[in-house]
Amino acid sequence: MPARNKGTQKKIVVAIGGNPNSGKTTIFNELTGSRQRVGNWGGVTVEKKEGIVEHRGYRIVFVDLPGTYSLTAYSLEEIIARNFIVNEKPDVVVDVIDAGNLERNLYLAVQLIEMGGKFVFVLNMADMAEKQGLLIHREKLATLLGGPVVFTIGHRGKGITELLDEVVKVYEGREKKSRHLHVAYGNELEEEVRKIQGRIRTDRELTARYSTRWLAVKLIEDDSEVKKTIEKESARSSAILTKGEESRKHLRNIFSEEPESLVADQRYGFISGLLQECISLNQMERVDSSQKIDRVLTNRLLGIPLLIFFIWLMFQITYRVGAYPMRWIEYFIELGEIGIKLLFPAGVLRSLLIDGIISGVGGVAVFLPNILLLFFLISLFEDTGYMARAAFVMDRVMHLIGLHGKSFISMIMGFGCNVPAIMGTRTLENEKDRILTILINPLMSCSARLPVYVLIAGAFFGRRAGNVIFSVYAVGVVLAILIGRLFRKTLFRGESEPFVMELPPYRIPTIKSVVIHMWERAFIFVKKMGTVILAGSIVIWFLSNFPIPRDVATVYSERVQSIEEIYRVRIDELKKSAAGYRAEKRALNEEKSSLIAQLQQERASEIISQSFIGRIGRFIEPVFRPLGFSWREGVALITGFVAKEVVVSTLGVLYNAGGEAQLGYSLRKSSSLTPLSAYAFLIFVLIYTPCLATVAAIRQETKSFKWTLFTILYEISLAWVLSFLIVKGGGLLLSLI
Amino acid sequence: MEMSSSGNHKLSFTLRDYREGQRGTIVDIRGEGRFKKRILEMGFIKGAEVYVEKYAPLRDPVEFIVKGYHVSLRRDEAEKIIMSEPR
């Protein structure tokens, strides 16, 4: 559209509400396509999506409200949804209703209606309802709800245009069905509502700002947010709130029941009546394909084995399929290195580019395909509905740890990479559950730590290395359970979140929606973690290469020169006419190359050792000595902060090792490590602070520095204490034998 | 729990007592706060009919059908829902 029309285009703001699993997000995606923006609601960890559509000369801004089952003040999502409607006063509110699940979905619809406003009701998944034999009289429903009803099949994009048309029609006031209605709560309740409304009306400002009926009903429900608002905004607050309490007491006396239940009863009563007028068939059980599938997937005997199988499959796909792009990225990186070596002379800049940036960022970039695949698979689990089944099957175990069944997939994913695992905790509705899962997630040993385990275990435990590594993983799991329970009892005490979880019908997700899901997360990963990792790599590079002791440079170049000189002389002395001249010359050259290579390794090691990081390492050494680690291990651990696999390469440089086998040998011979302290080292690597990318993910998902810092600190402390116990305790045991 | 003279016949049941395949009507709901509100909004109200679809492989939680859709509750949550005699 030409830019000058934008100014004359009228803007309509439309809020989209509905139950979770109602297909609301699919409809939002169908409406706004790529023109959407994802953010957060006012600094909390709830996702906010906005998108724009141009239709019939209007610029329609769709705001996707969090999915909720009702509009009480008990959860952040509900408060956000409510506040948006009450405070921002959108022009139109669209309620997406799962047509196959009308009764419960209408519970939310009814509460929306009570807030007043202009509505369009969307009956989504209309095809599923039809399959269940449900016949819905659209016009009657619209009349009884006070707003037009549109049938849609979200994942096929059907009904979207009609929805847009109705939104415009409602906005323009041309829709005859738009009426303001409310649920009749029965004589006694209505009487109390009237009384409270009377008190509210004495405050003109309050009355102008909110629907008095809505406020009154909420007071009867003892809604904490509404009470807070009234206290804050009304001069008559004490009179109003007192009346509210009186009404509640009165109702409790007459009915011997809590007013909230009374109100809920009445709402469902209204809904029942409404449905009887509008529906042709009433179904008790959903005897359909989902139920048949569940006979297998949540089967008493097969349920858990199948879950294990799917998880195994998830990892297989991630690593097998991911291996190909991984190789391409590795080639690409190698090409990049060659290119840079050609373009830049040896020196600081080249070192920064190759040893700093490419090495650091490249090391993590190589894992990118795996991470993307994990994002994709987790979206698939969610969108098909299988996630709920996994939670259903594993909840008993998770509950013992103090977690919700939904945490299971996230924890398992941590074995692949903690970053997507932590980002995957968004499916957890409860803040406490989410944070707790995030806090113990790093104890699930991610795949980047494996190279370290393989190296150390291989060097010190020979044939038993496999078992040792397995034990490390096991320790991680046991710790996660213990720490989880500990935190649950201490930090996250209080009313625990009810489990009550819907098992939605299985759905074949559209590729579009799964890819959009995956892309959103991948984008965040690349952008945020990418910058953090880049910065971290540069910092570590700097700390490892500076200050360059001048004498080292000179001493080594002198030694290289003298070696060159010695060998030149020896080669010259060879009789050119002698039989094995060529072979001897080659042998001498090879010897020379390997001596020079050795010198270069020594030089590199010397540089690191005298660099900032080396100094930091030596400074911290007293902390590591009780664990049996030397400053070299300390430095390696520090560099591991960027990415765990860097520990291996740092150890390689510090011990002048040419390759892994040689490193293993060097570790056994030259380091201060014993098998006992080597095991302690493994445990230390398992537990100590997670890598930069994970820390960034934690910060992002918890939206708090406090928890991020806490994770780092508790993990370092725990790592140290456990390693200490292993070394001292083990030492004690061994001395008794 | 009360016993009548004719033997082991309970006069009050909770949803926790129900076995797979049984159905009944909700008589009352105990509990308050978050749990109560959650249970209500999911359709567990007085007079509603509940059918027990399945117990999880580890015997907890339990899958129910109420108001035409599937919901799972932990057994200690189900205990708070007072039911009629199962049929």
| Full DSSP string of A474-485 | HHHHHHHHHHHH
Quote the tokens at residue A569: 């002389």
Judged against a pLDDT cut of 80, whether residue A317 lies above it is answered with yes
In a domain, B22, yes or no: yes
Rounded Cα gap, residues A241 and A237, in angstroms: 6
Q: What is the pLDDT of residue A6?
A: 52
Q: What is the pLDDT of residue A303?
A: 92
Residues in A closer than 8 angstroms to B42, CB to CB, are 69, 104, 500, 502
The CA dihedral of A507, A510, A513, A517, to the nearest 10 degrees, is 70
Instruction: Verify cis geometry, omega within 30 degrees of 0, for the bond prior to B61.
Output: yes
Query: Quick check: A20 and A502 in contact, CB under 8 A?
Result: yes
Q: Which helix (H) or strand (E) holds A508?
A: none
Instruction: Give pLDDT tens digits for A622-642.
Output: 988 888 888 888 888 988 888
Q: What is the pLDDT of residue A495?
A: 66
Residues in B closer than 8 angstroms to A220, CB to CB, are none
Q: Using CB atoms and an 8 Å cut-off, which of residues 33-62 of chain B contact chain A?
A: 33-43, 45-49, 51, 53-61
Mutate which: B38, B71, B73, B77, vs A, most A CBs within 10 A? B38
Q: What is the pLDDT of residue A478?
A: 93
What is the chain A residue with the closest CA to B67?
A103
Of A631, A312, A684, A270, nearest to A476 (Cα)?
A684
Of A508, A506, A519, nearest to A376 (Cα)?
A519
Report helix, strand or coil for B6: coil
Residues in A closer than 8 angstroms to B59, CB to CB, are 396
Residues in A closer than 8 angstroms to B70, CB to CB, are 286, 290, 502-504
Instruction: Give pLDDT tens digits for A461-508.
Output: 888 888 899 999 999 999 999 999 999 888 877 767 788 899 988 888
How many Cβ atoms sit within 10 Å of the Cβ of residue A45? Answer: 17
Enclosing domain of residue B33: 13-83
What is the chain B residue with the closest CA to A305?
B57
Residues in A closer than 8 angstroms to B35, CB to CB, are 498, 500
CB-nearest partner of A501 from B37, B57, B72: B72
Judged against a pLDDT cut of 90, whether residue A81 lies above it is answered with yes
Q: pLDDT above 70 covers what percent of chain A? A: 96
Report helix, strand or coil for A20: coil
Quote the tokens at residue A352: 């920064």
Q: Do B57 and A265 touch (CB under 8 A)?
A: no
Where in A319-461 does DSSP place strands (E)?
none
In a domain, B5, yes or no: no
Q: Do A264 and B41 touch (CB under 8 A)?
A: yes
Q: Do B45 and A265 touch (CB under 8 A)?
A: yes
CA distance A400 to chain B (A): 12
**What average pLDDT does the segment B36-59 reach?**
92
Q: What is the pLDDT of residue A737?
A: 77
Rounded Cα gap, residues A243 and A235, in angstroms: 15
What is the chain B residue with the closest CA to A304?
B57
Q: What is the pLDDT of residue A357?
A: 81
Rounded Cα gap, residues A194 and A525, in angstroms: 53
Give chain B's domain count.
1
Q: Do A500 and B72 touch (CB under 8 A)?
A: yes
Instruction: Give pLDDT tens digits for A579-593.
Output: 777 888 888 888 888
- Interface A–B counts its CB contacts (< 8 A) at 135
Instruction: Give pLDDT tens digits for A141-191.
Output: 999 999 999 999 988 888 999 999 999 999 999 888 888 888 888 889 999
Q: Do A500 and B68 touch (CB under 8 A)?
A: no
The CA dihedral of A471, A475, A481, A483, to the nearest 10 degrees, is 180
Instruction: Give pLDDT tens digits for A652-667.
Output: 877 876 666 778 888 8
CA distance A505 to chain B (A): 8
pLDDT grade, residue A597 (50/70/90)? Answer: confident
Mutate which: A77, A104, A387, vs B, most B CBs within 10 A? A104
Rounded Cα gap, residues A211 and A304, in angstroms: 51
Least confident residue range of A161-170, A193-202, A409-418: A409-418
CA distance A70 to chain B (A): 6
Query: Quick check: A715 and A641 in contact, CB under 8 A?
Result: no
Instruction: Give pLDDT tens digits for A250-271.
Output: 999 999 888 999 999 899 989 9
Q: What is the pLDDT of residue B55?
A: 96
**Average pLDDT of chain B?**
87
Edge-first strand order for the sheet with A119-124 is A36-40, A47-55, A58-64, A10-18, A92-98, A119-124, A149-151
In a domain, B71, yes or no: yes
Q: Do A261 and B36 touch (CB under 8 A)?
A: yes
- How far CA A105 is from CA of A120, A253, A428, A522, in Å, comes to 14, 31, 21, 33
In a domain, B2, yes or no: no
In a domain, B4, yes or no: no
CA distance A105 to chain B (A): 9
Residues in A closer than 8 angstroms to B56, CB to CB, are 298, 303, 392-393, 395-396
Residues in A closer than 8 angstroms to B74, CB to CB, are 395, 399, 499
How many Cβ atoms sit within 10 Å of the Cβ of residue A320? Answer: 10
Strand pairing report for B81-83 and B23-29: antiparallel
Instruction: Give pLDDT tens digits for A345-396.
Output: 877 788 888 877 887 777 778 778 888 888 888 888 888 889 899 999 999 9
Mutate which: B30, B32, B37, B59, vs A, most A CBs within 10 A? B37
What are phi and psi for residue A491, nearest 5 degrees? -80, -30
Q: Which helix (H) or strand (E) holds A190?
A: helix A187-201
What is the chain A residue with the closest CA to B42?
A104
In a domain, B58, yes or no: yes
What is the chain B residue with the closest CA to A222?
B33
Q: Do B36 and A258 touch (CB under 8 A)?
A: yes
Q: What is the pLDDT of residue A362?
A: 79
In a domain, B3, yes or no: no
Cα end-to-end distance, chain A, whole Å: 84
Q: What is the pLDDT of residue B1?
A: 43
CA distance A148 to chain B (A): 24
Rounded Cα gap, residues B69 and B51, in angstroms: 10
The CA dihedral of B13, B14, B16, B22, to the nearest 10 degrees, is 60
How many Cβ atoms sit within 10 Å of the Cβ of residue A101? Answer: 26
CA distance A517 to chain B (A): 25
Distance, C-alpha A73 to centroid of its chain:
25
Rounded Cα gap, residues A379 and A387, in angstroms: 9
Rounded Cα gap, residues A470 and A146, in angstroms: 63
Q: What is the pLDDT of residue A650?
A: 83
CA distance A729 to chain B (A): 38
CB-nearest partner of A495 from B33, B65, B67: B33
Query: B76 at the A interface (CB within 8 A)?
Result: no
| Amino acid of residue A404 | H
Instruction: Give pLDDT tens digits for A48-70.
Output: 899 999 999 999 999 999 999 99
Asked casually if ipTM beats, i.e. exceeds, 0.95, the reply is: no
Q: pLDDT above 90 covers what percent of chain A? A: 35
The CA dihedral of A298, A300, A303, A308, to the nearest 10 degrees, is 160
In a domain, B48, yes or no: yes
CA distance A601 to chain B (A): 57
Burial level of A31, CB count in 10 A (0-12/13-18/19+)?
buried
Instruction: Give pLDDT tens digits for A225-240.
Output: 999 999 999 888 899 9
What are phi and psi for residue A146, nearest 5 degrees? 85, 30
Q: What is the CATH number of the domain that holds B22?
A: 2.30.30.90
Q: Do B57 and A294 touch (CB under 8 A)?
A: no
Instruction: Give pLDDT tens digits for A498-534.
Output: 888 999 888 888 787 788 778 877 887 788 777 878 8
Residues in B closer than 8 angstroms to A104, CB to CB, are 41-43, 67-69
Burial level of A602, CB count in 10 A (0-12/13-18/19+)?
middle
Distance, C-alpha A593 to centroid of its chain:
50
DSSP letter for each residue of A521-580: HHHHIIIIIHHHHHHHHHHHHHHHH-S--HHHHHHHHHHHHHHHHHHHHHHHHS-TTSTT
Judged against a pLDDT cut of 90, whether residue A112 lies above it is answered with yes
Instruction: Verify cis geometry, omega within 30 degrees of 0, for the bond prior to A442.
Output: no
How many Cβ atoms sit within 10 Å of the Cβ of residue A673? Answer: 22
Least confident residue range of A4-13, A128-137, A665-674: A4-13
Of A498, A446, A440, A485, nearest to A715 (Cα)?
A440
CA distance B9 to chain A (A): 27
Residues in B closer than 8 angstroms to A101, CB to CB, are 67-69
Query: Quick check: A379 and B41 in contact, CB under 8 A?
Result: no
Rounded Cα gap, residues A432 and A440, in angstroms: 13
**What average pLDDT does the segment A70-80 reach?**
88
CA distance B4 to chain A (A): 27
A252-282: b (≥16 Cβ within 10 Å) or e: eeeeeebbbbbbbbbbbbbbbebbeebbeee
Rounded Cα gap, residues A705 and A696, in angstroms: 10
Distance, C-alpha A226 to centroid of its chain:
32
Q: Residues for chain B: how many in total?
A: 87
Q: Do B61 and A392 touch (CB under 8 A)?
A: yes
Q: Helix/strand/coil (H, E, C) string of A152-177? A: CEHHHCECHHHHHHHHHHHHCCCCCC
